[in-house]
Amino acid sequence: MTQGSISNRIRTLRFMNGEMSQAELGQRIGLTRQTIAAIEAGKYSPSLEAAFRIAQVFKVPLGEVFQWDANATSSKDGS
Amino acid sequence: MSYRERIAWLSLSAMVLAYGSYFSLVARDPGPWEPWPHQHPLGLFALATIVRVLILGGGHLYLRFGFPLEERPPLDERDRTIEHRAINAAYYVLMAGTIVVGCFMPFNSGGWAIFNAAIFWIVAAEIVHYGVVVASYRGQTAS
Does A41 have pLDDT greater than 80? yes
Q: Which domains does chain A have, with CATH numbers?
A: 2-62 (1.10.260.40)
What's the complex ipTM? 0.80
Please, which pLDDT band fits residue A79 given cuts at 50, 70 and 90?
Answer: very low
The H-assigned helical ranges of chain A are 10-16, 22-29, 33-40, 48-58, 62-65
Which of B63, B110, B88 lies closest to A79, judged by CA?
Answer: B88
Does B88 have pLDDT greater than 70? yes
| Across B42-63, average pLDDT | 92
- What is the span of the domain harbouring residue B34? 3-139
| Across B80-90, average pLDDT | 96
- Answer left, alpha or beta for residue A18, where phi above 0 means left and psi between -120 and 50 means alpha: left
Provide the sign of the torsion angle of the four alpha carbons B19, B53, B112, B22, taken in this order: positive
| Across B100-123, average pLDDT | 89
SS3 A68: strand
Asked whether the beta carbons of residue B76 and residue A47 sit closer than 8 angstroms, the reply is no
Residue-wise pLDDT tens digits, B16-44: 999 999 988 888 776 666 665 566 778 88
Residues in B touching A34 (Cβ below 8 Å): 2, 78, 141-142
Q: Which pLDDT score, from 0 to 100, does residue A3 have?
A: 76
Nearest to B76 among A31, A40, A77 (CB): A31
Q: Which pLDDT score, from 0 to 100, does residue B40 have?
A: 72
Whether residue B32 is preceded by a cis peptide bond, meaning omega within 30 degrees of 0, is yes
* Cβ–Cβ < 8 Å for A45, A6: yes
Asked whether the beta carbons of residue A38 and residue B78 sit closer than 8 angstroms, the reply is yes
From residue A33, alpha-carbon distances to A23, A37, B70, B77, B130 in Å are 5, 6, 11, 12, 22
* Total domains present in chain B: 1
* Average pLDDT taken over every residue of chain B: 87
Q: Which pLDDT score, from 0 to 100, does residue A78 have?
A: 44
Residues in A touching B139 (Cβ below 8 Å): 43, 77
What residues of chain A have any CB closer than 8 angstroms to a CB in chain B? 26, 30-32, 34-35, 37-38, 40-41, 43-44, 46-47, 50, 77, 79
Other C-beta atoms closer than 10 Å to the C-beta of B73 total 20
SS3 B109: coil
User: From the CA of A16, how many Å to the nearest CA of chain B?
Assistant: 21
This prediction's pTM:
0.82
Asked whether the beta carbons of residue B82 and residue A79 sit closer than 8 angstroms, the reply is yes
